[in-house]
A and B are shown apart, each in its own frame.
Chain A
Amino acid sequence: MDFEDEDGYTDAEEEELDSQGGSDVGGHLSEEDENKDCGHNHTALCEADIRNLQEQVITEVSSVLNITKYSATVLLSQYNWDLNKVKDDWFADEEKVRNKVGLMEKPVHNYPPGKKEINCRICFDDFLPRDMVSASCGHMFCKLCWKGYITTSINDGPGCLTMRCPEIKCVAAVGEDMVNTLISNEEIKRKYSRLLLCSYVEVKRNVKWCPAPDCDSAVEFVMGSEMFDVVCNCKYNFCWNCLEETHRPVECDTVVKWMLKNSAESENVTWILANSKPCPKCKRPIQKNAGCMHMTCTPPCKNEFCWLCLGSWASHGEKTGGFYACNRYEAAKQKGLYGEEEKRREMAKSMIEKYTHYYERWQANNKSRTKAVADLHQVETVQINILRDGQGESDAQLKFITEAWEQIIECRRVLKWTYASGFYLPEDEPEKRQFFEFLQGDAESGLERLHECAEKELVRFLDAKEPLEDFKEFKIKLSNLTSVTKKYFENLVRALENDLAQEGITSCKVQGRP
């Protein structure tokens, strides 16, 4: 692991170093562009790794400023882990910094010497001084009150990292040393140390937590890398940029829009039904925001149409009864062709139907992928053993099965996201849509054949009591399907990455056929 980040480079220097690193990686990439493998854009960090990084900064501040590690931690927390600012400010005016963050050198409050008992200003009971504790300021409170104070503060959240002495208006810091000595509850202590770690990760622009639920690991990104796909220690694949699961070749914007749509859709349906009509050209819902019937859809569509009959505005004018009344609409309405409500509902419905079409396929592939992940696990832990014994094959000879499943998982992921892309393809570029649907169709049917073969045809060999002769045939079939499907998906990915530009369509076709 590369720890050089913490050696006191300024942010600008760090970025320069990072981007140099990034371009090196880019150089390697072009060689293996075919499988788009890029393991060099990030490092997966487990909690201990992050603690190490954090510990290094703390140690440096502690040794350079000659203060305890606990004081260094308080200082860094209050300075948002900005190592250079801490050093600059400290050496410019140590006393000012000490007063600001609450690290007093001498107590500001002293009790009369020889006083036997001191009143705790929280519970109002008297205690012997040896049963009381104070921060650097000298304000004494009993241990039980400290415990309550610290626990409440930690349970309140990240504010506990800048905890102060409970005395009114006292700024003395309460650091991790006091937390550790006064709190015995492990869960509370763990919560505090986790918050401390989070505060460190939050300000590091090149480190982000893994978004998988219940995962405590993080990923350190090589800033400037072109590829955003990263893998956490927990095996979760996600996009560094938008934190959604890996969605290449679909762009982050599309994914964010799509996910937002999915979460908002159920509530939106009613509103859309009641208040909007889809643009007759691009099908996006249009809300009327001005008085007249001349509608202009937002760019890039810019379709001009009549709000009433949804016909093209170009054909409107004097012959249809003027711009502000639509004869066609009135006439049709009189003939009973337009029940206004009905028509509106129908429009909204057609829009929802379009969404439902893509959503169902996105969702189905998602589920299918999850199932495939579980199936691969089953293959690796159970089925391979059965086949090794039953069919007398070596592990190396059986590798084609895991390879098939890995391909299925990857393809389900890509296919799923292409449905989000498909939803947003502009309606007014039919050739792009056609091209996309052609490639997607090829890829999808290839994948279905591969998935079926891996799922269904393998069963016979698992049940067999003795080696079957046609195992070799099965191996050839599954391997071929794997490589053919891989090709189809590469074509689909490449096309989407080129924004469905038509060049190369013929070569894709040729390459794609088995």
Chain B
Amino acid sequence: MANSNLPRRIIKETQRLLSEPAPGISASPSEENMRYFNVMILGPSQSPYEGGVFKLELFLPEEYPMAAPKLGRICLDILKDKWSPALQIRTVLLSIQALLSAPNPDDPLSENIAKHWKANETEAVETAKEWTHLYASGE
């Protein structure tokens, strides 16, 4: 079973995530696999994503913390070459939350949306609000 020899660091991190969660972020390990986390990030206030609930899956690979957590398709330097073992799940999730407050259209996942954002930010913000309401309102 993957849980039997979980490094102390992961256990400590998990305990702290549960006992002192960062504002707007919740991360809880799955029961079957303690390296697998269900994450929810609330859209930051004063951002187009306000009111939205964003669900993520986070996985700690065998090499963690020497290797970065795995987090789906998110373009974030600290998940790649800028990873440091002194970073934590909490710091990674805070960075993602910050990305929602200040998107980086120069390093996008979706080229089309980035183009839209650069060409007409007001309109793109409106679309983001709409989609947040449609797809991430937590129902």
Q: Do A and B come from one complex?
A: yes
Nearest-neighbour CB distance to chain A for B80, whole angstroms, equals 12
Residue in A122, A125, A167, A169 whose CB lies within 8 Å of B65? A122
Q: How far is the CB of A471 from chain B (nearest CB, A)?
A: 69
- Tell whether, in the assembled complex, residue A123 and residue B86 are in contact, meaning their CB atoms are under 8 Å apart: no
Q: Is A107 interfacial (CB-CB < 8 Å)? A: no
Contact A123 B9 (CB under 8 A): yes
A167 with B84: CB separation less than 8 A:
yes
Chain B nearest Cβ from A343, distance in angstroms:
45
Q: Which residues of A contact B67 (CB under 8 A)?
A: 152
Do B84 and A123 touch across chains, with their CB atoms under 8 A apart?
no
Contact of B87 with A by CB under 8 A: yes
Any B CB within 8 A of the CB of A243: no
Could you tell me which residues of chain A, from 117 to 175, have a CB within 8 Å of some CB in chain B? 121-125, 145, 148-149, 152, 159, 166-169
**Any A CB within 8 A of the CB of B73:** no
Residues A166 and B8 in contact, CB atoms below 8 Å apart: no
Identify whether the interface residues of A are mostly helix, strand, loop, or mixed: loop
Are B66 and A148 in contact, CB atoms less than 8 angstroms apart?
A: yes
Classify chain B: how many residues form its interface, as a range: 10 to 19
Which secondary structure characterizes the binding site on chain B?
Answer: loop
Instruction: Bin chain A's interface residue count.
Output: 10 to 19
Partner of B12, one of A124, A148, A159, A167: A124
Known: A152-B63, A152-B66. A166 touches B86 (CB 8 A): yes
The reply to whether B63 and A123 contact each other, CB–CB distance below 8 Å, is no
A121 to B85, CA, bound (A): 8
Q: Which listed residue, B7, B13, B66, B86, touches A168 by the CB 8 Å rule?
A: B86
Question: Smallest Cβ distance from B79 to chain A, in angstroms?
Answer: 14
Query: Nearest chain A CB to B7's CB is how many angstroms away?
Result: 7
Q: Once the chains bind, are B86 and A122 in contact (CB under 8 Å)?
A: yes
Cα A324 to Cα B79 with chains together (Å): 60
- Give the distance in Å from the alpha carbon of A122 to the alpha carbon of B85 in the complex: 6
User: In the docked arrangement, what's the CA distance between A152 and B7, Å?
Assistant: 17
CB of A167 within 8 A of CB of B63, answer no
List 22 contacting pairs A-B, 8 Å CB cutoff, sorted by A. Answer: A122-B65, A122-B86, A123-B7, A123-B8, A123-B9, A124-B8, A124-B9, A124-B12, A124-B13, A125-B8, A148-B66, A148-B85, A149-B85, A152-B63, A152-B67, A166-B84, A166-B86, A167-B84, A167-B86, A168-B86, A168-B87, A168-B91
